Structure 1
């Protein structure tokens, strides 16, 4: 295995849409998902692919913001690794890479959300040094 993390330019970012569709718990139609993803790419967002050599095996994104309580931060979003590649240390390597990348960008904090029922992710994020600081609430209007 030779794992690489690569930022995707706008013209190549659509290659991760099938992963976003797999993660799509709300079952947003693909045309709407694509429209929203294109809008994300025009905001404070970067899309990344995870490769084993030149084979696409996963994806993630980073949202940038400045918050009054922690300064410049980013939020990893839609982290996805193909099932055959899970439990091989790639997630831990990814979050070490994300932290180093954030330091290069002047980021002082990493925040993230995970679904309440996704217990394996909670254990993983605790093991990566994250602490639970609150609840994420959503109200569609």
Structure 2
């Protein structure tokens, strides 16, 4: 398996069919526009996991510093292609994020997960040993 940072529009477009499975509200244009701006202004990074030259999962992350978490990495997006789920790819990518965070002197990794995503919650809490520390609220 190989993890590659995606840095070009063509690479981001290659990841779109997988990302669309998580971010169903995005079309290609808004997806590219948001990634471009996030990379430029927020240090967003998008990585893809390839298994036998086939992209099977992606993770988007941002290194951040806040008073609550200190120096941490925020996982913005983590999705495995539907046809490749339950094969350990999500765990592999999340372990990569943890290693990246430690190597770059970030203290922890955090993320939010949609209320209805029960399978993801079980994965984070039981498999990856994350703890639920807050609720995330969003204004309309």
TM-score range, shorter-chain basis?
0.7 to 0.9
Distance 1:17 1:33 in 2: 8
- What residue is the counterpart of 1:117 in the other structure? 116
TM-score (norm 2): 0.87
**Deviation of residue 15 (structure 1)?**
2.1
Spell out, residue by residue over 1:74-99, the C-alpha distance to the aligned partner (whole angstroms, 9 max, x if none).
11122111123211222222222221
**Deviation of residue 132 (structure 1)?**
0.6
- What residue is the counterpart of 1:51 in the other structure? 50
Verify the 8 A CA contact 2:57 2:90 in the aligned structure 1. Answer: no
| Range moving further from structure 2, 124-133 or 33-42 | 33-42
**Deviation of residue 18 (structure 1)?**
2.5
User: Could you list the runs of 5+ residues in structure 1 that have no partner in the other structure?
Assistant: none
Q: Which runs of 4+ in 1 moved over 4 A?
A: none
Spell out, residue by residue over 1:34-73, the C-alpha distance to the aligned partner (whole angstroms, 9 max, x if none).
2112111212211111101211112111111101133211
- What residue is the counterpart of 1:9 in the other structure? 7
Distance 1:33 1:96 in 2: 25
Q: Give RMSD over aligned pairs.
A: 1.7
Distance 1:46 1:72 in 2: 16
Distance 1:20 1:91 in 2: 13
Distance 1:62 1:110 in 2: 10
Distance 1:96 1:55 in 2: 20
Aligned pair count reads: 137
- What residue is the counterpart of 2:139 in the other structure? 139
Report the 3-state secondary structure (helix = DSSP H, G, I; strand = E; otherwise coil) of the residue aligned with 2:111.
coil
